[in-house]
Structure 1
Amino acid sequence: METMSSTPAVPAGTVVVGVDGSEGSTRAVRWAATEAGLTRRPLTLVHAWTLNGSSWLDQAGIDHRTLAAAIRDEAVGMLATVRAGLLAERPALDLEVHRLVVEADPRDALEELSRSAAMVVVGSRGRGPVRSLLLGSVSVAVSRLAHCPVVVVRPGAERATGGVLVGVDGTATSRPALELAFHEAALRGLPLTVVHCFWDAQVATLPAHRVDPGSSAYADLELLVAESVAGLQEEYPEVPVERALWRGLVDEALVAASQGRDLTVVGLRQTGRLRQLVRVPVAPTVVERADGAVAVVPHDAD
C-alpha cells in the first residue's frame, strides 16, 4: 500500500521514520522496517524540509516557488526509491508503507507525528542529497519533545550483538522504559540487562564502572532493582535478564554500559519546553554518545 498524504492522514499507531537520503537515515529506515514488521504496524517514511530566504531568492532572480517545487519533487522521488528498495529487500515482512513529504521544520513535523505514532525512528547525524532532515540536533530535539518513544539509530547498531540495556532508578517512573525494554527484547529474541547507577565517594577518583555482583555492601540496591523488574519478568519469562549496578554519573555509566548493545533504553521526564531548556536530562547525552540504537521513552513529570 502506498500513499502520499498530509500529516492528519497518517495512520494512528504507525512507526514513523525520518528520511533524508543520508547513511544515518538508511540505518534508521532498516531499523524501523524491522520494528514495523515485528509489531505488525504500518511504516511511514517522512521527509520534512523548509525553504528559507524566499524574498532574498526572488530578489536574486530565483523564483522561490519553482525552487520549492523542485525540492518537493526530489523528496517525493527519494521516498519512492527508498520504499521500493525496502520492499524488494524485505518482501517477507509484508510491510504497509506510507510516504509523507512535509514542508515544515523536521523537529516540528516529527513532534506532531509523534502524537499519534507508536514510535518515531531517526538516524544520528547526516546530510543527504535533498535538504537535510537529520542535522545533528534534530535527533536530540525530537527525542526530548516527542509524545511517544523515539529510537535514535547510531552508527554500530547493525553490528551490535549485546542485547538490550535499560537504565532504572528503582521508582515507578522507570516503568515505561522497562516495559519498552522487555517488549523489544522479547520481539527480537535478545537478552536484557537492567542497570541501576549510584553515586558515592569513589566516583570522584574513578570513572564510571560496574560493581562486582553479589557484594553484601549493595544488597539493598540489588533488591531495589530486583523488585523493579519482578512483575515484568513474569510477563516475559522468555527474556533472559541480568541485573547490574554501576557506580558513577548516570549518563557516563549508561554510555559505557551501552558498548556493543543492540538497544539502550532510557526514560525522559516530560517537563514541557521551557523547563527542558533549563534542565539537562540524561537522555540527550546518551543519545549523542551511546553505542548502537537508543530508545528514549517519555514519562509524566510526576
Structure 2
Amino acid sequence: MDRRCAVNAPVVVGVDGSASSLDAVDVAAREARLRGCALKVVHAFTWPMMHVPLGPSPLGPPEGGLRNIADRLVADAVKRAQSAEPEVEVTSALVTGEPLTVLEAQSRKATLVVVGTRGAGGFVGLLVGSTAVHLAAHSHSPVLVVKDQPRRVQQIVVGVDGSPAGEAAVEFAFAEAALRNAPLTALHAWTLWNAPLPELQDDGLSYTEPADKLRDSEERLVAQVLAGRTQRYPGVPVKRKVVRSGAREALIEASKDAALVVLGARGRGGFAGLLLGSVSQALLHHAHCPVAVVRGTAAGQ
C-alpha cells in the first residue's frame, strides 16, 4: 500500500453515537492523516426502513425528531474528527440502510474502514458487535476494529501463515508500520496438526518424529514471506517470532503488548467458502488491542 490514498478512496468510519464509535473516529482521523487522504464519516440510518415518522413531533421542539438526531450525531462525529486532525478533509454521509449493508457498500471505494467494537445497539456483555465481525468478513477493503484506546505501545503484530490469503495482511502490516514509524513483529504459530507434512522420502523423515524438521520448515516459510518486503520497507524494524503453539492463543497473548494486530480474513487450513476464519474471529473478540482484518484477492480467498 502506498503512503498516499488512491483517488476518491477515503478512510471511512462508521458512527452511531456510541463511545466506541467516537473512539473509532479518533483512530480513523489519524489513519487518514498518515495516508494523506480524506476521512468520510458514515451513519447508517435505519429508521426510514421501519416506516416511522422522522420529523419532529407537532407537540415537541422543532429540533426534535429522528432525522435531526441523526444529523446531530454525524455533525458531532465530524467535529471530533476535525478536532483530532485539523488538516484532514472530513466529509459525511447519512445513508438509509442497515449498518453492515451500508458499510460494505462504502468499503468498495474505501482505503480502509474503521469501526468500534460495539455500537449503540450492542448487548451488554458482548465483547465485539456483530457489525464489526460481519464487516470483517464481507468488506472490500481492510477493516480496523478499534478497542481499548489509547495504547502507549507502538509495536504492530502480524500473523504470518504463508497462505495466499494472508499475503495481503502481511503487505498491509508492513505499510502500516511504515506509516506509523513502528516496529513490526511477524508472528507465526504452528503445531503438529496445522503444519504441512513433509515428504516421507526427505532424508528418511518419519511422521512419528517430525517436530525438529517441521520447525525448520516453518522458520523458512516466515523468511520467505518476509524477504521481499523487508527490502521494500527498509525503515521498518522487523522481528520474527516462530512459536509452537495454537495461533489464537499466541496472537491473543502477543496483543497484550501491541498497538495493532493484523490478520488475514482466512488463513492456512481454513475451510473453503468461509469468509472469516476462526483465528480472526477469536482475535476480534479477545485481543487486547485494535485488530485489522485484511481480505486477500478473490482467488486467494
TM-score when normalising by structure 2: 0.78
Q: Residues 135 and 50 (structure 1 numbering): CA distance in 2 closer, same or farther, change over 3 Å? A: farther
Q: Is 2:75 the partner of 1:83?
A: no
Q: Is 2:66 the partner of 1:71?
A: yes
Q: Is 2:18 the partner of 1:22?
A: yes
1:274-296 Cα distance to aligned partner (Å, 9 max, x none):
9438x753212211111111110
**8 A contact 1:28–1:122 mirrored in 2:** yes
1:198-248 Cα distance to aligned partner (Å, 9 max, x none):
1138xxxxxxxxxxxxx8872322121111101000011111000011222
Q: Which runs of 5+ in 2 are unaligned?
A: 1-6, 58-63, 122-126, 194-211
The 3-state SS of whatever aligns with 1:161 is coil
**If each structure's helix is expressed as a fraction of its own residues, which one has the higher value?**
1
Q: Is 2:135 the partner of 1:166?
A: no
Match of 1:204 in 2: none
Match of 1:46 in 2: 42
**8 A contact 1:121–1:150 mirrored in 2:** yes
Structure 1 counterpart of 2:115, which letter? V
Q: Residues 159 and 99 (structure 1 numbering): CA distance in 2 closer, same or farther, change over 3 Å? A: same
Structure-1 separation of matches of 2:128 and 2:234: 40
State which of 167, 172, 176 in structure 2 corresponds to 1:180. Answer: 172
Q: Residues 115 and 248 (structure 1 numbering): CA distance in 2 closer, same or farther, change over 3 Å? A: same
Match of 2:200 in 1: none
Match of 1:208 in 2: none
Q: Residues 22 and 247 (structure 1 numbering): CA distance in 2 closer, same or farther, change over 3 Å? A: same
**8 A contact 2:49–2:97 mirrored in 1:** no
Which of structure 1's runs of 4+ aligned residues deviate more than 4 A?
52-55
Structure-1 separation of matches of 2:274 and 2:71: 34
Deviates more, 1:18-27 or 1:113-122: 18-27
TM-score when normalising by structure 1: 0.78
**8 A contact 1:46–1:100 mirrored in 2:** yes
Q: Which runs of 5+ in 1 are unaligned?
A: 1-10, 56-62, 129-133, 202-214
CA RMSD in angstroms, aligned pairs only: 2.7
Structure-2 separation of matches of 1:109 and 1:103: 8
Structure-2 separation of matches of 1:89 and 1:221: 42
The 3-state SS of whatever aligns with 2:8 is coil
State the percentage of identical aligned residues. Answer: 38
Structure-2 separation of matches of 1:254 and 1:46: 31
Q: What's the CA shift for 1:187?
A: 0.5
Q: Is 2:252 the partner of 1:238?
A: no
Q: What's the CA shift for 1:174?
A: 2.2
State which of 270, 274, 280 in structure 2 corresponds to 1:276. Answer: 274
Structure-2 separation of matches of 1:80 and 1:243: 44
Match of 2:97 in 1: 104
Structure-2 separation of matches of 1:265 and 1:187: 14
Q: Residues 194 and 77 (structure 1 numbering): CA distance in 2 closer, same or farther, change over 3 Å? A: same
Structure 1 counterpart of 2:261, which letter? T
Match of 2:197 in 1: none
**Aligned positions, number:** 260
Structure-1 separation of matches of 2:277 and 2:34: 34
Q: Residues 165 and 53 (structure 1 numbering): CA distance in 2 closer, same or farther, change over 3 Å? A: closer
Q: What's the CA shift for 1:181?
A: 0.3
The 3-state SS of whatever aligns with 2:44 is strand
1:45-77 Cα distance to aligned partner (Å, 9 max, x none):
01113138947xxxxxxx634479922221111
State which of 198, 215, 220 in structure 2 corresponds to 1:218. Answer: 215
Q: Residues 160 and 284 (structure 1 numbering): CA distance in 2 closer, same or farther, change over 3 Å? A: farther
